[in-house]
Amino acid sequence: MAAAPAITLPATGERELRLDLFRGLALWLIFIDHLPPNILTWFTIRNYGFSDATEIFIFISGYTAAFVYGRAMLEAGFVVATARILRRVWQIYVAHVFLFTIFLAEISYVATSFENPLYTEEMGIMDFLKQPDVTIVQALLLRFRPVNMDVLPLYIVLMLFLPLILALMRWKPDVTLALSVLLYAVTWHFDLYLSAYPNGFWAFNPFAWQLLFVFGAWCALGGARRMSRILSSPVTMWICIVYLIAAFCVTLTWYVPQLGHIMPRRIEQWMYPINKTDLDVLRFAHFLALAALTVRFLPRDWPGLRSPWLRPLILCGQHSLEIFCLGVFLAFAGHFVLAELSGGAALHALISICGILIMSGMAWIISWYKHSADKGASRTKSTGGNADLAGGGA
């Protein structure tokens, strides 16, 4: 029986709904993981293996960015494509600053109103309250970030280097991926990192996480097509399944200490710690195994992608920047409610579900607005030069 093909480069104007679906899923999982542990937490992938939703988000971001701006680079040239990329970087940066400002206001208001300074400590804004002038400058430089605000700075840095990545991809895509692997190895060997304020380092090291972003770009620009024979091989499928089962067994020992004795001491010494900051090899391999099986068993033309039940996930994935920012606000709001009220597991689950519903509703509103705006623009364009005259005569 023929296996499902790997992800291929979509035709112009055609969306790859699988990417939207899984980016939306990643946003939901990130939101749930940012809340205090609850029933829905057990449905997030970090409890069943080494990787989590962050890997999904960064890979898909690299894939979609390369597809969109790679096509722009081919059609309009390097300078125009770079200008468009920098414009997008500016939009993400503005969103990050806006998110930072509102998030600080939200935390400060709650901490002051309820006379609970622990909120400022838990959310990592104590230094802002001590030295707001210095901290704001550091925040603008992406060196100071409250809790749960580490993904956008990583995305900003990766997007800044996208013009160089695409230019190298046009030259030699496989060499570009090899250089990315080399930078990843050098990062681990020489302990390269970006420092954070007031101390420490970035929660997601761009020198390491660039590998996942570049790999996504490589897949978008033909790498996935070239790997289709490997991905469709039964040998690859069984290797992925065995690795995922092994990862699940290891993860199980984290939550059931009584099973710790089944792990050989030598393997523990080799495996731990599984570093998220520097994108541990085991995490990267776990994501690859999940991605390979997903591509194999979820074809691009799967009818379920048009199902109304999956529509909320797809809409969230299509408006990822806005929904991510909203998710950060909702996560702290949920944290606050759970800290002030003692409602048990039922309240935890209710807050998680309400947050997901709000995110889905906002995605639908944004989609409806953009669709209406696009229809209006198309109608204006179809009337040609008479549009302004008709409006002026009204």
Instruction: Specify the pTM.
Output: 0.90
Query: What dihedral angle (degrees, nearest 10) is formed by the CA atoms of 364, 368, 369, 372?
Result: 170
Judged by DSSP in three states, 4 sits in: coil
CA 273 vs. chain centroid, Å, equals 23
Q: What is the pLDDT of residue 393?
A: 43
Contacts of 294 (CB under 8 A, 6+ apart): 18, 22
pLDDT in tens, the chain (394 residues): 444 433 344 455 567 899 999 999 999 999 999 988 878 888 899 999 999 999 999 999 999 999 999 989 988 999 999 999 999 999 999 999 999 999 888 888 887 777 777 777 777 777 777 888 888 999 999 999 888 899 999 999 999 999 999 999 999 999 999 999 999 999 999 999 999 998 889 999 999 999 999 999 999 999 999 999 999 999 999 999 999 999 999 999 888 887 777 788 888 888 899 999 999 999 999 999 999 999 999 998 899 999 999 999 999 999 999 999 999 999 988 888 887 777 678 888 899 999 999 999 999 999 999 888 777 666 545 434 333 333 444 3
Q: What is the pLDDT of residue 2?
A: 43
CA distance 234 to 236: 5
Closest CA to 110 of 267, 335, 390, 377: 335
CA distance 124 to 70: 38
Closest CA to 305 of 2, 4, 3: 4
Strand partners of residue 201: 195
Contacts of 155 (CB under 8 A, 6+ apart): 58, 61, 92
